[in-house]
Structure 1
Amino acid sequence: MALKVELKPHELIIVGNVVITNSDSRIRFFIDGHAPILREKDILTAETADTPAKKIYLSVQLMYLSDDIGSHHEVYFNLVREFLEAAPTALPIISEINNQILSGDFYKALKVTKKLIDYELELMSYAARR
């Protein structure tokens, strides 16, 4: 069954290692087959990965989009280790991300990493109130 994708004007999407940018009008198309797909709202860049959790998201994103997943492991594990040193209470979320990565489901790992970003924001908000 094909994946139906609708893009707003000027929205972009990554399919595999190809970036597709929509023109001036809304468009709908179908993708049949297996390739990593990320909509613009789910894409982070080095510039937008401005917190530790977002940097972890970026490293998982690179694993998801890459043909050479292993080349991103060292960066990922270093970021995770540093994050857990600062926020050990994040271990359950990190464990869930690791389980998704180990099972090869990088898209689900990205979804769980969004929980880590939310958790980080919650921790920072709590720290700012103190």
Structure 2
Amino acid sequence: MSGLVLKLAAGERFVVNGAVLENGDRPSTVRIADDDARVLRCRDALKPSEVDTPTKRIYYAIQLIITGDLLEEDVLPAIMNECRRLEDVFETIDTSLLSVLRSMLERGNYYSALCHLRNIIAIEAELLKVAEQKSQQNLQAQVA
């Protein structure tokens, strides 16, 4: 059996090819058999107000492709350019992070790309946290 398997909570919403679907009143499992289907769990969706970093901008753009709000051919080149730009930042951590992401995007595997991006967003958050701590230490050293 191939395809994407979603385990859904009662009442959970998800998007398939731009259509919002809602699970019934019991937990269930849904198999999306079409490999070309564009799927997004609503609980995984970012709100526009949460898009405040480069990797979250990539995530949000992919999310909008899945929901049908943006056209793949219009946005994908810009996403790929942003991935290339961020490679320098992430190459010291894992040289394959963004190349794997680009490969998923090239194949149109957007659900997997979002799952992969959640890991990158977590790494980015740690990098930003370290940078903020260093900035605070530098500021304290200047004041003292």
User: What is the TM-score of this pair, normalised by structure 1?
Assistant: 0.73
Give the gaps of 5 or more residues in structure 1.
none
- 1:43 match: 45
In the comparison of the two structures, how many residue pairs are matched? 126
In the alignment, is the contact (CA less than 8 A) between 2:4 and 2:32 conserved in 1?
yes
Query: How far apart in 2 are the matches of 1:17 and 1:3?
Result: 16
SS of aligned partner of 2:104: helix
Cα distance in 2 for residues equivalent to 1:96 and 1:31: 24
Distance 1:20 1:110 in 2: 19
Taking only aligned residues, the RMSD between alpha carbons, in angstroms, comes to 2.9
Q: Could you say which residue in structure 2 is the equivalent of 1:70? A: 73
Aligned to 1:90: 90
Q: Deviations over 1:81-130 (max 9, x none)?
A: 5x62xx72314322221121123322222222112201111101111222
How far the C-alpha of 1:17 sits from its partner, in A, is 0.8
One-letter amino acid of the counterpart of residue 128, structure 1: E
- Cα contact 2:12–2:23 (8 A) shared by 1: yes
Three-state SS of the structure 1 residue aligned to 2:15 is strand
Query: 2:133: which partner in 1?
Result: 129
Unaligned runs of 5+ in 2: 135-144
SS of match in other structure, 1:50:
coil
Instruction: List aligned pairs for 1:107-126, cutoff 5 A.
Output: 107-126=111-130
Contact 2:62 2:110 in 1 (8 A): yes
What one-letter code is carried by the residue in structure 1 that aligns with 2:13? Answer: L
Note the alpha carbon deviations across 1:28-48, whole angstroms, 9 max, x for none.
263454222222232223233
The 8 Å contact of residues 14 and 20 in structure 1, kept in 2 or not, is answered as yes
Aligned to 2:63: 61
Q: Structure 1 residue 75: deviation in Å?
A: 3.6
Is the contact made by 1:12 and 1:40 (CA closer than 8 Å) also made in structure 2?
yes
1:8-29 CA-to-partner distances (Å, cap 9, x unmatched) read: 3443111221112356x33426
For 1:69 and 1:63, how far apart are their aligned partners in 2? 6
- The amino acid of 1:90's aligned partner reads F
